[in-house]
Chain A
């Protein structure tokens, strides 16, 4: 074993290092403590922004929906809202309420999915099983209302494609009652549970200052005291008709992010109930004309459309050129905005914390599946892991030690960088 030396580099590969893949995540360590991280992202780069330019605005909805299988409604809503602004279409209230309903159901399913994944990362598989079981309440409602468990395709340009009838409304209200009981259970037990406290309290801290510097969005920002929420700062759909709170926390650690997401589920239930009880009668679409006719009048203008996806601020920039295909579509997903905070919060964490810190921003699973860790053994352990092995390593490491003191984080001389590099002073 080599001697421990400050600034040992650990290249992290997307697969097991023996496959000789280029590293896409490099950790600088001093023994067990991470002192810096350099992240090279290899996203699911599919070339969507190029492909969408040869699609009509209608076809584009179905392509953009499939950017992500967890927040597909966020993408179609952001896009159609942008196009509606370009066309100066006023979406009728009933349609806006339905969009809100599906959006909040999506938020719940996404947060519960995250809760399960986070549990899995810290070895708390029972939480995974419970959270994903309870998530089925929402999956069933989505399937009943829209016809699909994922990729609901409820949005069209000018409104929505499916209506809500009284049976659905009743089912929704019943479902919310069931869900509320379960969420109360999570609210009361999860933050106090021993494993969660040990693995999440004081771990991966992102200060408010750091969160603002890196323009963190969503629950990550809010858990560090940055109150951003597109539903309030630029209300869309029916959000200015319903009451709800923006949940913030001032601790900035993983526990705070957990609590914020659980509380957001409670707020989502609150919104859904208001929508189901008060949804106004009316049309589902802004215009009786078919979308192709509407698109014949799209002006040469651009629009910035923002939406509060479950993971945070989602942005669709759309530029129209007078034809029925867009000239430019730029999408900035919330995970991209939050990646730099992962790097920063890894500094001063233990290697064993890596899986949960990464999971803490609620990134796409496909992104985390590409993270592997290779070490030179200077920390006294195995010298090569993939993410699953690193998860096991983390679980065993904490099992042996119980509650540990957090490593001291003296000023690490963070240079002004793009947030994906760290250097020792």
Chain B
């Protein structure tokens, strides 16, 4: 267990994004955070496709009745320590859909939520802010500090867009340009 915890402590959070009946506004803004202007990959934040490799679940949408069981199952499959972000008004309270017959009133109707992000939709900056605050609050201060150190680039209108794009048109931006995170190369399959 020790090795797993060390690995989890040392690298940046990996997020799993789940659309629970959203209009796609929050989803696109979440994906936008991966794009050159915001580029959360250079913080080591990666978007994962399976709950088994994710630290933070970013859920959007009011949670339609069809999605509720899937949301629960995905939450169950995430290994500890796991955190949940309800991104946007709909995920937080049901938003404009709170009184619709086929919707729940937000993600916390279905699973526990650790952080609520306001906005309709959220903006990519809000997501990054939210992740930093969440890590701080959940006691993962080292990670939060590391991320916060790099935040000013975005928040203070720092990096011009052109500089965020690689010089070679063929470069594939899947690597961060940091020193590799410890233990990030060979993720342990985390079956608890």
Measured CB to CB, the residues of A under 8 A from B are 14-15, 19, 21, 42, 44-48, 50-51, 54, 62-63, 66-70, 72, 113, 125-126, 128-130, 132-133, 136, 149-151, 364-366, 369, 386, 388
**Binary contact readout B128-146 vs A (1 if CB under 8 angstroms, 0 otherwise):** 0000000000000000000
**Given known A69-B24, A136-B161, A365-B28, contact A47–B35 (CB-CB < 8 A):** no
**Given known A44-B64, A66-B120, contact A149–B101 (CB-CB < 8 A):** no
Residues of B within 8 A of A129 (CB): 35-36, 165, 173
B169 on the A face (CB < 8 A): yes
A51 to B37, CA, bound (A): 37
B78 on the A face (CB < 8 A): no
Q: Give B145 Cβ to nearest chain A Cβ, in Å.
A: 28
A126 to B31, CA, bound (A): 15
A195 to B140, CA, bound (A): 43
Contact A67 B23 (CB under 8 A): yes
Residues of B within 8 A of A42 (CB): 66
**Given known A21-B70, A48-B100, A132-B35, contact A69–B22 (CB-CB < 8 A):** yes
Closest to A150 in B: B25
B19 on the A face (CB < 8 A): yes
Q: In the A-B complex, list the 7 residue pairs whose CB atoms are closest, starting with the nearest.
A: A69-B25, A47-B100, A132-B35, A69-B24, A69-B23, A47-B102, A133-B36
B106 on the A face (CB < 8 A): no
Residues of B within 8 A of A63 (CB): 96-97
**Given known A50-B101, A69-B27, A133-B165, contact A365–B19 (CB-CB < 8 A):** yes
Contact B165 A44 (CB under 8 A): no
Interface residues of B in 1-45 (CB under 8 A from A): 19, 21-29, 31-32, 35-37
Contact A133 B101 (CB under 8 A): no
Measured CB to CB, the residues of B under 8 A from A are 19, 21-29, 31-32, 35-37, 49, 61-62, 64, 66, 70, 73, 90, 95-97, 99-103, 120-121, 123, 161, 164-165, 169-174
Residues of A within 8 A of B102 (CB): 45-47
**Given known A45-B64, A69-B26, contact A151–B35 (CB-CB < 8 A):** no
A54 to B66, CA, bound (A): 24
Residues of B within 8 A of A132 (CB): 31-32, 35-36
Contact A44 B36 (CB under 8 A): no
A369 to B174, CA, bound (A): 22
Residues of A within 8 A of B49 (CB): 386, 388
Q: Give A358 Cβ to nearest chain B Cβ, in Å.
A: 16
A130 to B171, CA, bound (A): 11
Contact A19 B24 (CB under 8 A): no
Residues of B within 8 A of A62 (CB): 96
Contact B19 A366 (CB under 8 A): yes
Contact A126 B97 (CB under 8 A): no
Q: Give A155 Cβ to nearest chain B Cβ, in Å.
A: 16
Residues of A within 8 A of B23 (CB): 44, 66-69, 72
**Given known A44-B22, A69-B22, contact A126–B27 (CB-CB < 8 A):** no
Residues of A within 8 A of B61 (CB): 44, 366
Other A-B pairs, 8, CB within 8 Å; known A126-B171, A129-B35, A133-B35: A44-B22, A46-B103, A66-B96, A66-B120, A69-B25, A132-B32, A151-B25, A366-B61
Contact B25 A126 (CB under 8 A): no
Residues of B within 8 A of A66 (CB): 23, 25, 90, 95-97, 120
Q: Give B61 Cβ to nearest chain A Cβ, in Å.
A: 8
Closest to B123 in A: A149
8 CB contacts below 8 A, A to B, read A45-B102, A46-B64, A126-B171, A130-B165, A133-B37, A366-B19, A366-B22, A366-B27
Contact A51 B97 (CB under 8 A): yes
Residues of B within 8 A of A126 (CB): 169-172
A366 to B66, CA, bound (A): 13
Residues of A within 8 A of B25 (CB): 66, 69-70, 72, 150-151
Contact of A366 among B24, B97, B174 (CB under 8 A): B24
Q: Give B34 Cβ to nearest chain A Cβ, in Å.
A: 9
Residues of A within 8 A of B100 (CB): 46-48, 50-51
A132 to B165, CA, bound (A): 11
Residues of B within 8 A of A388 (CB): 49
Residues of A within 8 A of B64 (CB): 44-46
Contact A45 B66 (CB under 8 A): yes
Contact B66 A70 (CB under 8 A): no
Q: Give A195 Cβ to nearest chain B Cβ, in Å.
A: 11
Residues of B within 8 A of A386 (CB): 49
Closest to A45 in B: B102
Residues of A within 8 A of B103 (CB): 46-47
Contact A133 B164 (CB under 8 A): yes
Contact of B19 among A15, A50, A51, A369 (CB under 8 A): A369
Q: Give A55 Cβ to nearest chain B Cβ, in Å.
A: 9
A383 to B151, CA, bound (A): 43
- Of B24, B95, B174, chain A has the most CB atoms within 10 Å of the CB of B24
Q: Give B174 Cβ to nearest chain A Cβ, in Å.
A: 8
Residues of A within 8 A of B123 (CB): 149
